[in-house]
């Protein structure tokens, strides 16, 4: 078995902090366009109780997602002590493209991966750069693709980046807009001599019963000017995740041959604190075991939901800074998992 591991990681956390109090002046409307008459203080307090989010991070007005993707990539490459010219693939996962402030126009031409490669000043045309659109599970899926390239002998070193700037596609009249944030995380994937790395993976896409429309682009709740914003059916997403993610993680873990008792950390997409906690409790319930108190690190309270960036950002912070008191040690068994637009689910069992 080939040992394919993360040899470097990096993230870019935007400096602009947007606390919940910043939404006190918003006028909120429901999906039918009717004003929500509850006081904003009540709306925001309920939002915090459900999601756990106290603040989120937005990029500066002069930045786009390419800027933070390049910064995260540079840090991952430096951490891996790698010559960027030796990279065979740059895989960039995102969902809304490279949007300038006040344009609200998705820009994917050229690809974000090509912009990252240009920003890294890589000369070699043999370094192939491409984007993947896979909802919030994009970074996890990029790692799975990198592993496949290396295992097939098509690559030796890959860079996988997850980056999104959801602040550029927010409908300020929609309560769900308070969930979303900006961020970027990156990892270098290589074959190594030491044991460990990716042990197994699982991916699934659900569309038959309308799941593809659970998260989508739609018009503003407050006007019909034709501009599209990120939208979701929150209750449907919540129920879908609780019904399907625990089973997918279990199948992934069983494919690795490892025991649930050996799992030290589960890095799940930071979508909603209450939902993530419920997912992992259900996972352990499948094994008729209680969820360990330290198995689920979370940073959504501080950083919000930055889509594809949440998992690699949290991994990097814990790996380097013991974020939230969590630590990683050599040979620890961990799981990466995500769920999002598609609807897509994926998971990786990984030995540090």
- Both 178 and 271 in one domain: the answer is no
Q: Phi and psi for 88 in degrees, rounded to 5?
A: -95, -35
- Both 143 and 225 in one domain: the answer is no
Rounded to whole angstroms, how far apart are CA atoms 241 and 345?
9
Evaluate if residue 226 carries a pLDDT over 80: no
pLDDT at 102: 81
Give the position of tokens 């290396």.
Answer: 150
pLDDT at 1: 66
**Average pLDDT, rounded, for the chain:** 95
Local structure of residue 54 (DSSP, 8 states): S
Evaluate if residue 33 carries a pLDDT over 90: no
- Cβ pair 116, 70 in contact under 8 A: yes
- Both 267 and 300 in one domain: the answer is yes
Q: Is 9 helix (H, G, I), strand (E, B) or coil?
A: strand
Half-sphere exposure of 276 (CA within 13 A, CB side): 26
pLDDT at 31: 85
pLDDT at 343: 95
106 falls in which pLDDT band (50, 70, 90)? Answer: confident
Q: Higher pLDDT residue, 150 or 222?
A: 150
Q: What is the pLDDT of residues 271-309, one digit of tens each?
A: 999 999 999 999 999 999 999 999 999 999 999 999 999
pLDDT at 321: 93
Helical axes 40-51 vs 273-286, angle rounded to 10°? 30
- Cβ pair 151, 101 in contact under 8 A: no
Question: What is the C-alpha radius of gyration for the chain, rounded to an integer number of angstroms?
Answer: 19
Evaluate if residue 144 carries a pLDDT over 80: yes
CB atoms within 10 A of CB 303: 25
* Total domains, the chain: 2
Rounded to whole angstroms, how far apart are CA atoms 106 and 133?
13
- Cβ pair 283, 243 in contact under 8 A: no
Evaluate if residue 243 carries a pLDDT over 90: yes
Return the C-alpha torsion angle 297, 299, 301, 307, nearest 10: -120
Local structure of residue 108 (DSSP, 8 states): -
Rounded to whole angstroms, how far apart are CA atoms 162 and 138?
7
Helix (H) or strand (E) holding 291: none
Q: What is the pLDDT of residues 39-87, one digit of tens each?
A: 999 999 999 999 999 999 999 999 999 999 999 999 999 999 999 999 9
Rounded to whole angstroms, how far apart are CA atoms 336 and 136?
12
1 burial via Cβ count (<10 Å: 0-12, 13-18, 19+): exposed
Q: How far is CA 130 from each of CA 90, 117, 167, 229, 311, rounded to the nearest angstrom?
A: 6, 10, 23, 24, 20
- Both 191 and 266 in one domain: the answer is no
The alpha carbon of 52 is separated from its chain's Cα centroid by a whole number of angstroms, namely 17
User: Range of 187's domain?
Assistant: 4-195
- The arrangement of strands across the sheet holding 182-191 comes to 4-12, 182-191, 157-165, 89-93, 128-132
- Both 318 and 297 in one domain: the answer is yes
- Both 190 and 209 in one domain: the answer is no
Give the position of tokens 């939901």.
Answer: 305
Evaluate if residue 227 carries a pLDDT over 90: no
Q: What is the pLDDT of residues 109-141, one digit of tens each?
A: 899 999 999 999 999 999 999 999 999 999 999
Q: What is the percent of the chain where pLDDT is above 70?
A: 99
Q: Helical H runs in 88-214?
A: 112-119, 138-151
The alpha carbon of 304 is separated from its chain's Cα centroid by a whole number of angstroms, namely 11
* Pairing relationship of beta strands 182-191 and 333-340 according to DSSP bridges: unpaired
Angle at the Cα of 100 from the Cα atoms of 97 and 106, rounded to 5 degrees: 35
- Both 160 and 202 in one domain: the answer is no
User: Which of 195, 213, 235 is the last residue before a domain boundary?
Assistant: 195
Q: Which residues contact 141 (CB under 8 A, 6 or more apart)?
A: 93, 132, 134, 203, 344, 346
User: Which of 195, 224, 255 is the last residue before a domain boundary?
Assistant: 195
User: Which of 195, 212, 230 is the last residue before a domain boundary?
Assistant: 195
- Both 174 and 223 in one domain: the answer is no
* N- to C-terminal Cα separation, the chain: 16
The CATH number of the domain where 148 resides is what?
A: 3.40.47.10
- Both 215 and 314 in one domain: the answer is yes
- Both 207 and 159 in one domain: the answer is no
């Amino acid at each position: 078995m080939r040992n394919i591991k993360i040899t470097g990681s990096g993230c870019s956390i935007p400096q602009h902090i947007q606390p919940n109090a910043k939404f006190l002046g918003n006028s909120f409307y429901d999906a039918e366009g009717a004003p929500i008459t509850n006081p904003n203080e009540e709306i925001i307090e309920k939002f915090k109780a459900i999601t756990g989010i106290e603040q989120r991070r937005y990029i500066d007005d002069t930045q786009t997602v390419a800027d933070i993707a390049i910064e995260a990539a540079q840090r991952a490459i430096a951490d891996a002590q790698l010559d960027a010219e030796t990279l065979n693939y740059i895989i960039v996962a995102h969902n809304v493209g490279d949007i300038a402030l006040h344009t609200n126009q998705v820009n994917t031409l050229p690809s974000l991966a090509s912009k990252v490669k240009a920003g890294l000043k890589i000369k070699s045309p043999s370094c192939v750069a491409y984007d993947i659109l896979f909802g919030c599970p994009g970074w996890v899926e990029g790692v799975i693709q990198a592993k496949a390239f290396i295992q097939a002998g098509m690559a030796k070193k890959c860079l996988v980046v997850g980056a999104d700037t959801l602040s550029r596609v927010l409908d300020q009249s929609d309560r769900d807009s308070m969930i979303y944030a900006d961020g970027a995380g990156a990892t270098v994937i290589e074959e190594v001599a030491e044991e460990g790395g990716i042990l197994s993976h699982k991916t699934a896409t659900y569309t038959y019963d309308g799941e593809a429309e659970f998260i989508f682009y739609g018009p503003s709740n407050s006007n019909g000017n034709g501009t599209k914003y990120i939208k979701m059916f929150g209750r449907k997403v919540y129920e879908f995740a609780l019904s399907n993610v625990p089973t997918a993680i279990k199948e992934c873990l069983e494919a690795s041959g490892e025991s649930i008792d050996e799992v030290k950390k589960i890095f799940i997409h930071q979508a909603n604190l209450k939902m993530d906690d419920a997912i992992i409790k259900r996972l352990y319930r499948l094994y008729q075991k209680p969820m360990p108190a330290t198995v689920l690190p979370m940073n959504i309270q501080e950083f919000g939901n930055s889509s594809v960036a949440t998992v690699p950002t949290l991994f990097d912070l814990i790996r380097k800074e013991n974020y939230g008191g969590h630590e990683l040690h050599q040979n620890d068994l961990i799981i990466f998992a995500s769920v999002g637009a598609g609807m897509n689910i994926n998971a990786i069992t990984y030995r540090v």
